[in-house]
Amino acid sequence: MPVYVVYAGAAVAVYVLFSLLIGRDLGQSLGAASGNLLLGYGSMALVNALTPNFGFAVPVNAVTLLAGGWLGLPGTVLAAALQLVA
């Protein structure tokens, strides 16, 4: 099983747990978690696919996958900005 599947499952589980603790119902929690994961991982894949145009790539590791999955688009932007600074 690829490691990104494990991280995606862990991110969804934690997100849903926190959402349930603050009072959202299960449908809202799962919808928000899956939307963030799709936007975050999709945008990270898009940035890495356009690497020749941008001149840099976002490394795919545990930290960037969790940031992209948990925060969605802002997580990918954060990972890209940190890559430019480093």
Taking the whole predicted model, whether its pTM rises above 0.75 is answered as no
Question: pLDDT confidence of 67, banded at 50, 70, 90?
Answer: confident
pLDDT for 4 equals 67
Q: How far is CA 56 from CA 9, 46, 62, 81, in A?
A: 28, 12, 19, 11
CA atoms 66, 72, 73, 74: torsion sign: negative
DSSP conformational letter for 23: T
* pLDDT surpassing 70 at residue 1: no
Q: What is the pLDDT of residue 68?
A: 75
**Which run of H or of E encompasses 38?**
helix 26-49
Cα Rg, the chain, nearest whole Å: 14
Kindly state the average pLDDT of the residues 9-36.
77
Average pLDDT over residues 57-74: 76
